[in-house]
Amino acid sequence: MLDIVEKGNAMYPRNEELAVEELAKELHEAGREAVEKNCIVRRDIPTKGFIEWEELDDMAKEGRLIQARFLIKRNTIRPRD
């Protein structure tokens, strides 16, 4: 869960790199149902099913980290209570 600190009316991750990694893992996990239902971009390529975060190679992880940085930079992202 993201560790958020309030500054005025805005909320920021306490440790930005940790927040990026946590959000990247959440984005990856969010794709689980899509993979399991074959609702993916490249259906023409056979998959081995959902690959756990720990099993991803560095390039695949970096892809999720890029997405997380993009979202954090452009949105207010905070955990629900």
**Stated length of the chain:** 81
pTM: 0.69
For the stretch 7-35, pLDDT in tens is: 555 555 556 667 788 889 999 999 999 88
All residues at 6 or more sequence positions from 40 whose CB lies less than 8 Å from its CB, including other chains: 34, 47
Q: What is the mean pLDDT of residues 53-79?
A: 86
* CA-based R_g, the chain, Å: 15
DSSP category for residue 44: T
Rounded mean pLDDT of 46-62? 90
Integer Cα distance of 71 and 52 in angstroms = 22
HSE (side-chain half, CA atoms, 13 Å) at 32: 6
The residue ranges of every structural domain in the chain are 4-74
